[in-house]
Structure formats: C-alpha cells, structure tokens
C-alpha cells in the first residue's frame, strides 16, 4: 500500500532558503570588505554586545568561578565520554605503506589540519555540549590551533558554562561573536590572523548557509542545522516515550523537523494525541519553539511493513534516527541514511546530544545520504605518497608514456621517455600506443 500520512508537514527543511542565502551573502561580502570593524558593528546591532571580542584569561577565570562543582563535574563527565570515543576513532585511522608491485611503494599518511574554527551555538539555549563535541574532537585529532566562537549575551558575553567548557576542552582563542559574523571571522582569520582550514559546529539556518557559501575557500564538517529527528516505531513501542522524544528535539527551534515512521496505526494516533499536551506543558520559550516546529515540520507516516518503513526513513535521511521497534539488529543492518542511530527505547537523541560519547554534530537536510557526522577524521587529511626504484620504471614509465599519448598529452609522455632513456640507455621500449 501507499504510505499514509496522519500528519503532513506544511514546510520542508528547504523552506525559506532564498531569503537566507541573500542575507548571508550580503553579510559575508560586507565583513570581507570592512573586516573586524564590520564584525563589531554586527555584534553590537544583532547581539547588543559591546564587550571584548577576544575573550581574556580573566574573563574565562571569572566564568569558571561562577559555576557550581556539580556543573563542572557534569561537563567533565561529558567531556571524558566524548574524548574517549574520539580517541577510539583516532585509533581506527591508520597509516600504511605497501609494495604494490616489485619496486613500487605506495603509502597513506594522516595529517591533522593546522587551524580549526569551532562554532558553538548560543542564543535561545546554552549549548555546552556543542563546545565539547567540536573542540575536544579537534584536539584529539591533533589540530594545532583551535579558534572557537559563540554568541555573546548583552551583559555577560558568552554564557559562563559555554566559556568554561571551551577553555577546558582546549580552545586556543575564544571569540565572543555569533551568527554569520562568527563564521566569517574564523574563516577570514579576523582577530587571530589565522584563517581556519575547516569550520565545524551546528547552528541556525544562517550559520549553516554561511558555511555552505564559504565551502571551497575553507573546509566544513557538513551541513548541520536546523536539527532533525525521525523515529521508527512499531506496535511494541511506548507512545509516551515516542511522543516525548519527538518533542525533545522540536524544542530546538521553530524550524526543527520531527518525523514519526510507524507500522502501527494505534501508536500513530496515540502519539498524535499526546504531543500537543507535552508541548503545552513546557516553559514558554521551549513551548513556542516546539509548537511551531511540530505544526510546520512535523509528520507521521503509517507504513504497511518494516521494509516500507526503512525505505521511508532512508528518504528522510534524518540527522538523528531512533528505532523503537523489535529486532534491532535487522534495523541496524538495513538502514542506510542517518547521521546517528539510536537503537532501542533505552537510548535517546538527548543522550547522544549531551554526554553518552558519540558526536552530536551531524548532517541535516538529507546530507546523511553521502556523509556521516563530525569525527576525528574530519580534522585529518588522508594523503598519499609513493616512491619506486629504477627497475620499476621499466613498466610504469612505458605504460605512462603510452597512456599519455593515447590522451594526447605528449609532455606527460616524455617524462616517462626521459627516465627510460636515462636508466636504460641500451634498451628500446615501446612508448607509442
């Protein structure tokens, strides 16, 4: 049967992109032209902040002293889990050299990037965990210089907990700048003199668009934001848990999609009836965000069987994908497109978002079809090298010459000819195709 939607979204993650592109392009052009002064102007206008852009050691110490021991312990707990997982990822990335033919040696090296720019969202929420995810992972990867930025509050600057976390995780320079101006500052090397080789971190649609436009001039981790969740659930799932997890992500903001894919009509109807009450019970800021997100972007799709559910899930290619259904191994083996997978009721997106160990900077807007989330490997260049002895040139140089002439590239061909003539002056080789 065709998939039946008990609720269909009025908008898609791509809605409103044209206006976003226009605004971001104008801001980037203005910042590149006018430099640091334009950044200060945007920060004063948009964030109502006129304090230090480059955070001082004294400001970092003041923030640390304002936090309770419990908060610091919790941040360290999350940091240790994320760091441990990142180290395991690093161990899985190997260098090698192999003699692939007699006298021909090819190898692979892993070289960390020089400078990383880590964006840590602020504004509506204090995204402490995002600082851990980006800065810690870059440090484990071996990045030499880490610049981090976060939107400042009008009075205190960067949220004290975010600032403490940035410093603890190993940021070398911290900038009290948010939004497009933060991304631009790190990309252009403003306030530091060190343009970023790569920009990482989640953010709103303006931050995501700034990264997209700058991609090519700098590397980026992936297109991350606004956040998404999809849940696959069958008749064994608890509708209250499913509804709670959908709302848990919808509170991120009014443009955060939340999708339910289910094989159970009863569960779908129960979840649909539960969500409004869960949203209404939230504090005002969170409730307003979740209500708009669920109204405009929420969907519930009813599928005939698990295979159809898996196909629909792969079409969504959600950033976060929960499976609350029987036979978790089947789903693990079958599903292909997701940023991070959460198997079973016992785990939830929030665990991965905050402290369980895996990274929460993940692909959105269907990008999980071709990339995974932020990892140590994103900060490391996999490069190749080769060396060979003269004897190996007998084959390699001759084949190179013939292929080059086949392609019409005579100068290429002669680089092979020259070596054959030098190394084997008394021999004749076929170098024409």
Give the catalytic positions in this structure: 319-320
Q: How far apart are CA 209 and CA 214, in angstroms?
A: 9
Looking at the DSSP bridge assignments, the partners of residue 71 are: none
In terms of Cα–Cα distance, which of 175, 125, 115, 114 is closest to 150? 175
Q: How far apart are CA 282 and CA 290, in angstroms?
A: 9
CA-based torsion, 152, 85, 323, 321: positive or negative = positive
CA 355 to chain centre: 17
Quick check: 102 and 376 in contact, CB under 8 A? no
**Residue 191 to residues 135, 139, 147, 158, 233: CA-CA distances in angstroms?**
19, 21, 10, 17, 49
CB burial of residue 408 (10 Å; 0-12, 13-18, 19+):
exposed
**Residue 38 to residues 52, 117, 150, 157: CA-CA distances in angstroms?**
15, 19, 17, 18
């Amino acid at each position: 049967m065709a998939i039946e939607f008990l609720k269909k979204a009025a908008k898609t993650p791509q809605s409103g992109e044209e206006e976003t592109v226009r605004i971001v392009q104008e801001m980037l052009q203005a910042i590149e032209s006018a430099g640091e002064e334009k950044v200060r102007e945007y920060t004063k206008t948009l964030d109502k902040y006129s304090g230090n852009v480059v955070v001082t050691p004294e400001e970092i110490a003041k923030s640390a002293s304002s936090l309770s021991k419990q908060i610091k312990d919790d941040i360290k707990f999350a940091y240790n889990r994320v760091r441990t997982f990142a180290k395991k990822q690093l161990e899985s990335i190997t260098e090698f050299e192999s003699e692939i033919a007699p006298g021909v040696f090819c190898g692979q090296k892993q070289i960390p990037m020089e400078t990383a720019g880590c964006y840590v969202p602020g504004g509506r929420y204090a995204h402490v965990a995002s600082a851990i995810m980006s800065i810690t992972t870059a440090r484990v990867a071996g990045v030499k210089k880490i610049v981090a930025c976060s939107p400042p509050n009008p009075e205190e600057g960067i949220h004290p907990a975010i600032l403490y976390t940035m410093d603890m995780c190993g940021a070398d320079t911290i900038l009290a700048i948010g939004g497009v101006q933060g991304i631009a500052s790190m990309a252009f090397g403003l306030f530091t003199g060190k343009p970023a080789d790569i920009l990482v971190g989640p953010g709103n649609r303006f931050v995501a668009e700034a990264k997209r436009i700058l991609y090519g001039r700098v590397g980026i981790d992936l297109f991350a934001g606004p956040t998404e969740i999809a849940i696959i659930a069958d008749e064994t799932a608890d509708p209250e848990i499913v509804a709670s997890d959908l709302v848990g992500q919808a509170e991120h903001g009014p443009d955060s999609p939340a999708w339910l894919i289910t094989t159970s009509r009863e569960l779908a109807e129960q979840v649909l009836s539960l969500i409004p009450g869960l949203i209404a019970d939230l504090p005002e800021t969170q409730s307003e965000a979740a209500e708009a997100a669920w109204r405009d972007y929420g969907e519930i799709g009813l599928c005939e069987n698990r295979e159809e559910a898996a196909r629909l899930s792969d079409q969504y290619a959600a950033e976060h994908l929960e499976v609350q259904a029987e036979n978790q191994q089947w789903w693990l083996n079958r599903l292909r497109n997701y940023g991070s997978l959460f198997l079973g009721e016992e785990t939830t997106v929030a665990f991965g978002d905050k402290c369980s160990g895996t990274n929460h900077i993940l692909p959105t807007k269907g990008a999980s079809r071709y990339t995974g989330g932020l990892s140590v490997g994103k900060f490391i260049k996999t490069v190749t090298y080769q060396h060979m002895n003269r004897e190996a040139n007998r084959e390699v140089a001759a084949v190179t010459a013939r292929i080059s002439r086949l392609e019409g590239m005579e100068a290429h061909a002669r680089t092979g000819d020259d070596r054959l003539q030098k190394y084997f002056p008394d021999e004749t080789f076929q170098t024409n195709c």
